[in-house]
Homo-oligomer: A and B are copies of this chain.
C-alpha cells in the first residue's frame, strides 16, 4: 500500500511514548519499519539479539532499544525498558487504517429504548434493538446488529458486519472484528430416541474489559449461566468458544482454535492456533498449548503441552501410521523378547 502515514517529530514521539531521546529531536518520523528496511524517516526497534547485525547497519531515523543495547546503535535512540512494548505503543500513533467517522448514520435503525452515549460513531445500516446500552465513545461499523438488552462498554469498537445477539455484555475498550458473532445459541440438545430436543440457551455472554476478538470468531451464550471472557483476553480469527466456557484474564487464543462446552481456561495461558479443547475440562493458569494440539484431558500443572505427530513425507508417513496402529502388538513383542532374554 502506498498511503500516507502521519508525520511527527522525534522529540514529540519521545514525549508521547514517555521515552528518553538520545539524538535529534527535530527529525521528522513518518512511519515504522524493521531495522533492515527502514529509511531515515522511519522509526525502528531492537528487542532480539538475532537482529544485532541489522542494528549495527540500520539506516533508520531512530531506534527504540534498551540502554544496554544503545551503544551499538549508529542512529538516534529512544531508550525503553521494554522496547517491543514501546514499539507496540508507537504503532498506535501511526494507525490510519481504522479512522472513524463521527456521528450516527441516517440509515442506522436504532430502537427508541436504546441508550446511546456521547461521541459515538454508528455506521450505515446498523441495527440496534430495544434496551441496548451503547457507552461513550463507542464505534459500531456499518451493517452490524446489536440484539435486545446488550450493553457495549465505553470506547469499544465494533468493525462492520458484527452480530451481537440479545443480552450480551461487553466491557470497555473492546475491539471486535468483522463477522464476529457473540451470543448465538450454545449447541445443546437432549436426545429423545433419535430426535434431538433443543435446550433453549437461557444464559448470556459476559466479556471483560480490554478484550480483542478476531474476525469470524463465534462465542455462544450459556445454557443456564453465562459464557465468560476475562479482562485482557485476546482472541484471534475464527475461534469458536462454546457455551459456558470461562476464559481467564489475559489469556491469548490464536486463530481457528475451538473450545468445547463448559471448559475452563486459566489466566495468562497461550492457546496456539487450531487447538481443540474438549468439553468439561479445566486448564490451570500459565499453560501453553502448541499449534493444532487436542486437549482431551484437564491440564492441572502449568507448562507447555502438545499433541500430534509432526510432519513427514507422505510415503514415509504412511509406514508410520500403519505401525502406530500396531503399537500395542509391538509392545507385546518387545516384552516377550525381554522375557526370553532375561
Contact = CB atoms under 8 A, between A and B. Distances in A.
A216 B109 contact: no
Given A32-B202, A127-B123, A190 B326 contact: no
Given A124-B125, A181-B215, A199 B87 contact: yes
Interface in A289-336: 290-297, 299, 303-328, 330-331, 333-334
Interface stretch (A67-75, A112-120, A236-244): A236-244
B337 A190 contact: no
Interface stretch (A8-16, A21-29, A55-63, A217-225): A217-225
Nearest to A148: B99
A140 interface: no
Most buried by B among A141, A214, A225: A214
Q: How large is the interface on A (under 10, 10 to 19, 20 to 34, 35 or more residues)?
A: 35 or more
Given A3-B167, A166-B99, A256-B258, A308 B321 contact: yes
Interface in A47-105: 82, 84-85, 87-89, 91-92, 94-99, 105
B214 A216 contact: no
Helix, strand, loop or mixed for chain A's interface?
loop
Contact of A127 (B143, B206, B317): B143
A321 B178 CA distance: 38
Nearest to A184: B215
A92 B105 CA distance: 37
Interface of A: 1, 3, 5, 31-34, 37, 82, 84-85, 87-89, 91-92, 94-99, 105, 107, 109, 123-125, 127, 141-143, 145, 147-149, 159-161, 163, 165-167, 169, 175, 177-179, 181, 183-185, 187-192, 194-204, 206, 212, 214-216, 218, 220-221, 223-226, 232, 234, 236-238, 240, 242, 249-250, 252, 254-256, 258, 260, 267-268, 272-274, 276, 278, 288, 290-297, 299, 303-328, 330-331, 333-334, 337-338, 340-341
25 contacts: A92-B200, A97-B167, A124-B125, A145-B160, A147-B160, A177-B184, A177-B185, A178-B181, A179-B218, A215-B220, A216-B218, A218-B237, A238-B240, A240-B256, A254-B260, A255-B260, A258-B273, A294-B311, A306-B318, A308-B308, A320-B324, A323-B330, A323-B331, A337-B337, A341-B341
